[in-house]
């Protein structure tokens, strides 16, 4: 997440009136004007998603002439909400402005800050909140036709749109939100793929060797999975014979860890395609202009050092890459926002389009070749979560989510209406890494799995911090108030301006009270309210395991550095809903399968709207690989298959 300091001014120089710089300076009104404000410049502030949003609003007696904003909202998401709302308020002299979908906290913050300033200017705030804004849009029904229709403008949908166009199709992307991005935009951006080049910088540990050997020695029933086992055994034998000491990895190991990580419930045919194409999809993204850092790391619940990190924070690198391609090819790719897909259009047993509802009427989109469903999961739909949450978790009604507000399962419902088979709907993934206030991933101070520990409110470790996501979350739910502290030291943050995986500096997090800093473990324990004796012992025991002087009490196998160098840091975390593994069934060609096991002609799907790949539990870092691998496949096949 890119956190930045930005000054925004939307005023035109010609509109500035001399003397307005000083607060409270009055400008006389003409007899025909009705005074709305006391002319001058006024300050206002409110809480945004990442801290205070501060504004300076300049008004005449009847107009808002300038709004300057200082904020630290997310680049590509929160900042866009701020810009849009500032423009709408200023142009319309109205506070009756809708929040920007997907950026609720940023929208609320900027509106509250502007409201405070206008209140200081003597405005009738309630009257401004009731003032209508003219849309200026043409009303009426619309019908359009393209070769491929893509439903959903997140990562999977845009990967499909780009791929379809590369394979000769004219494309329309329809998105219900007022922006593109979906969950991809607000993701942590980790992308799993076996990559010998980047992994050659890492040294294989004895515990990692044992992990590979345990996987090879496992018992597998599925014929395809057995071929992975045999391939891995051969690769491992060759690795040992070579005398190499660098980190071992291969698509075969990735497949087996994905399969085992989902309790052998994942569909082997999908896993096979997924892992074989994960790195080629990175190369595809790079060919489109995307840049990745030259190292890999282990993301939370990823189980192995194969997560790639984009150069740009959050999902901005992915989205900018897709959107740049769309912009260059806008003659062939149309994007329609604020338009909700309602139902598929079916003719002679084939899906040939989608009926949508726009802000001003019906929108009918016809596909001459295929339709790609890429609407994401249902993590933000509490009712739907509760309907399907029958296996893994207690009541999730009051559990927040990392998902954007549009992740409500609409596409799954649409697909079910045309007899698509649903699978794995009961498998809902929670993380132990939610912000206690928002449920989001922002504010998380971990930099990677190897160099941090978790302690509960008593200051005691309670789980293997390198385990599966469901394992860690279940353990957290058993702790006091289901609340924990992530503990790191200077090894994770060499300087105060070092940023976390969401582009937030540790100094800013400490200043905002979202993290705590101390020069001793005892002082840190005091600041976060845990027992100092138990806390210090937890850290010391962990450090002994890092040294190999003692076996880790929770069986942890992923280590790097000890936590022994001041300053020490702590950040609070709680369980949060993150991913829904279930969805519509697809085959290796990304074609949607019906309840009888047959292909639904003309309908393809990719991303979190699908089920089958991850089984009961998704490995951290597999989602962004999933959306690009199967988005690319879905787009190509929608454009070319008959």
396-427 pLDDT per residue, tens: 999 999 999 999 999 999 999 999 999 999 99
* Strand partners of residue 347: 350
Checking if the pLDDT of 217 tops 70, the result is yes
The DSSP output letter for 13 is G
Average pLDDT over residues 159-176: 98
Lowest mean pLDDT among 15-29, 128-142, 258-272, 360-374: 15-29
Per-residue pLDDT reduced to its tens digit, 533-576: 999 999 999 999 999 889 999 999 999 999 999 999 999 999 99
* Strand partners of residue 231: none
- Closest among 102, 68, 269, 276 to 176, alpha carbons compared: 102
Checking if the pLDDT of 27 tops 90, the result is no
* pLDDT band with cut points at 50, 70 and 90 for residue 33: very low
Is 573 among the residues known to form the active site? no
CA atoms within 13 A on the CB side of 124: 7
Structure confidence at residue 13 (pLDDT): 30
Residue with the two structure tokens 């394992």: 471
**pTM for this one?**
0.86
Structure confidence at residue 90 (pLDDT): 85
The DSSP output letter for 235 is H
Structure confidence at residue 487 (pLDDT): 98
Report in angstroms the alpha-carbon separations of 280 from 296, 303, 632.
Answer: 16, 21, 11
Structure confidence at residue 10 (pLDDT): 35
| C-beta of residue 372 within 8 angstroms of C-beta of residue 148 | yes
In what helix (H) or strand (E) does residue 625 lie, and over which residues does it extend? helix 622-640
* Structure tokens belonging to residue 595: 């309840």
* pLDDT band with cut points at 50, 70 and 90 for residue 605: very high
* Structure tokens belonging to residue 564: 């022994």
Checking if the pLDDT of 318 tops 80, the result is yes
Residue with the two structure tokens 């992530």: 486
**Neighbouring residues of 140: CB distance < 8 A, sequence distance ≥ 6:** 360, 361
**More confident site: 25 or 260:** 260
Average pLDDT over residues 431-437: 96
Report in angstroms the alpha-carbon separations of 562 from 100, 210, 361, 384, 538.
Answer: 44, 21, 61, 43, 12
**More confident site: 257 or 135:** 257
* Strand partners of residue 354: 344, 365
Residue-range domain boundaries for the chain: 6-130, 187-312+615-631, 430-576
Average pLDDT over residues 199-221: 97
Checking if the pLDDT of 9 tops 80, the result is no
Average pLDDT over residues 152-166: 98
* Structure tokens belonging to residue 276: 């074989």
Lowest mean pLDDT among 68-77, 177-186, 287-296, 368-377: 68-77
**Neighbouring residues of 173: CB distance < 8 A, sequence distance ≥ 6:** 150, 152, 153, 157, 158, 161, 180, 326, 333, 334, 335, 336
The dihedral sign for the CA sequence 307, 313, 314, 315: negative
Structure confidence at residue 600 (pLDDT): 98
Considering 452, 469, 514, 556, which one is annotated as catalytic? Answer: 469
Q: Average pLDDT, whole number, for the chain?
A: 91
Q: What is the DSSP string of 259-315?
A: HHHTTT-S-HHHHHHHHHHHHHHHHHHHHTT--EEEEEE--TT--SS-EEEESSSTT
Structure confidence at residue 134 (pLDDT): 58
The DSSP output letter for 549 is S
- Write the burial class of residue 430 (CB in 10 Å: 0-12 exposed, 13-18 middle, 19+ buried): buried
Q: What count of other Cβ atoms lies within 10 Å of the Cβ of residue 183?
A: 28
- Closest among 46, 631, 38, 641 to 288, alpha carbons compared: 631
Checking if the pLDDT of 15 tops 90, the result is no
* Structure tokens belonging to residue 554: 């929770």
Checking if the pLDDT of 4 tops 50, the result is no
Tell how far CA 50 is from the center of its chain: 16
**Helix/strand/coil percent split, the chain, to 5:** 35, 25, 45
The DSSP output letter for 614 is S
Per-residue pLDDT reduced to its tens digit, 81-104: 888 899 889 888 888 887 776 677
* pLDDT band with cut points at 50, 70 and 90 for residue 20: very low
Cα angle, residue 503 at apex, residues 501 and 506 outer, rounded to 5°: 90
Which CATH class name applies to 6-130? alpha beta
Checking if the pLDDT of 449 tops 90, the result is yes
Nearest-angstrom CA–CA distance, 605 and 26? 60
Q: Which CATH number fits domain 430-576: 3.90.220.20, 3.40.50.300, 3.90.700.10, 3.40.1410.10?
A: 3.90.700.10
* Structure tokens belonging to residue 476: 């957290």
**More confident site: 80 or 126:** 126
For the chain, the residue count is 642
Cis peptide before 22 (omega within 30 of 0): no
Structure confidence at residue 17 (pLDDT): 27
């Amino acid at each position: 997440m890119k956190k930045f300091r930005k000054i925004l001014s939307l005023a035109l120089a010609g509109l500035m009136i001399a003397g307005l710089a000083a607060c409270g300076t009055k400008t006389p009104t003409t007899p025909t004007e009705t005074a709305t404000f006391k002319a001058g410049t006024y300050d206002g502030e409110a809480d945004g998603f990442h801290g205070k949003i501060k504004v300076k609003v300049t008004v005449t007696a009847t107009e808002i002439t300038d709004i300057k904003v200082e904020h630290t909202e997310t680049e590509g998401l929160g900042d866009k909400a701020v810009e849009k709302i500032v423009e709408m308020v200023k142009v319309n002299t109205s506070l009756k402005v809708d929040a920007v979908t997907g950026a609720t906290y940023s929208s609320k913050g900027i509106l509250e800050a502007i409201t405070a300033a206008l209140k200081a200017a003597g405005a009738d705030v309630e009257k401004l909140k009731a003032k209508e804004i003219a849309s200026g849009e043409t009303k009426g029904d619309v019908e359009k036709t393209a070769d491929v229709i893509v439903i959903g403008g997140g990562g999977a949908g845009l990967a499909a749109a780009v791929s379809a166009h590369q394979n000769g199709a004219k494309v329309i992307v329809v998105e219900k939100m007022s922006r593109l991005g979906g969950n991809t935009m607000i993701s942590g951006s980790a992308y799993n793929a076996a990559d010998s080049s980047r992994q050659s910088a890492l040294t294989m540990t004895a515990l990692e060797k044992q992990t590979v050997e345990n996987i090879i020695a496992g018992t597998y029933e599925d014929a395809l999975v057995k071929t992975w086992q045999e391939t891995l055994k051969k690769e491992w034998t060759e690795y040992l014979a070579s005398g190499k000491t660098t980190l071992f990895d291969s698509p075969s190991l990735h497949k087996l860890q994905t399969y085992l990580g989902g309790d052998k419930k994942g569909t082997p045919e999908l896993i096979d395609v997924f892992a074989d194409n994960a790195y080629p999809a990175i190369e595809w993204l790079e060919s489109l202009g995307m840049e990745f850092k030259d190292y890999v790391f282990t993301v939370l619940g990823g189980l192995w050092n194969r997560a790639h990190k984009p150069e740009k924070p959050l999902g901005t690198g992915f989205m900018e890459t897709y959107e740049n391609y769309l912009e260059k090819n806008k003659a062939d790719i149309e994007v329609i926002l604020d338009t909700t897909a309602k139902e598929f259009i079916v003719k002679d047993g084939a899906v040939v389009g989608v009926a949508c509802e726009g802000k001003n009427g019906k929108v009918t989109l016809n596909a001459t070749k295929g339709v790609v469903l890429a609407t994401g999961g249902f993590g933000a739909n509490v009712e739907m979560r509760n309907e399907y949450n029958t296996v893994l978790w207690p009541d999730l009604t009051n559990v927040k989510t990392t998902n954007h507000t549009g992740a409500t399962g609409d596409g799954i419902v649409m697909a079910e209406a045309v007899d698509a088979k649903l699978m794995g709907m009961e498998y809902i993934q929670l993380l132990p890494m939610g912000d206690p206030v928002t449920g989001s991933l922002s504010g998380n101070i971990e930099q990677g799995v190897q160099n941090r520990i978790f302690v509960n409110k008593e200051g005691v470790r309670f789980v293997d911090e390198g385990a599966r996501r469901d394992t860690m979350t279940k353990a957290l739910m058993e702790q006091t108030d289901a609340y924990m502290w992530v503990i790191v030291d200077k090894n994770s943050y060499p300087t105060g301006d070092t940023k976390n995986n969401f582009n937030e500096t540790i100094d800013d997090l400490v200043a905002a009270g979202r993290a705590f800093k101390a020069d001793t473990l005892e002082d840190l324990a005091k600041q976060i309210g845990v027992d100092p004796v138990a806390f210090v012992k937890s850290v010391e025991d962990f450090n002994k395991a890092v040294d190999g002087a003692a076996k880790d009490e929770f069986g942890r196998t992923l280590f790097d550095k000890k936590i022994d160098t001041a300053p020490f840091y702590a950040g609070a975390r709680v369980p949060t809903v993150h991913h829904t593994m279930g969805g519509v069934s697809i085959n290796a060609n990304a074609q949607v399968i019906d309840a009888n096991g047959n292909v639904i002609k003309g309908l393809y799907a990719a991303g979190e709207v699908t089920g089958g790949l991850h089984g009961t539990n998704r490995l951290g870092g597999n989602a962004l690989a999933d959306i690009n691998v199967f988005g690319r496949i879905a787009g190509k096949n929608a454009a070319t298959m008959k």
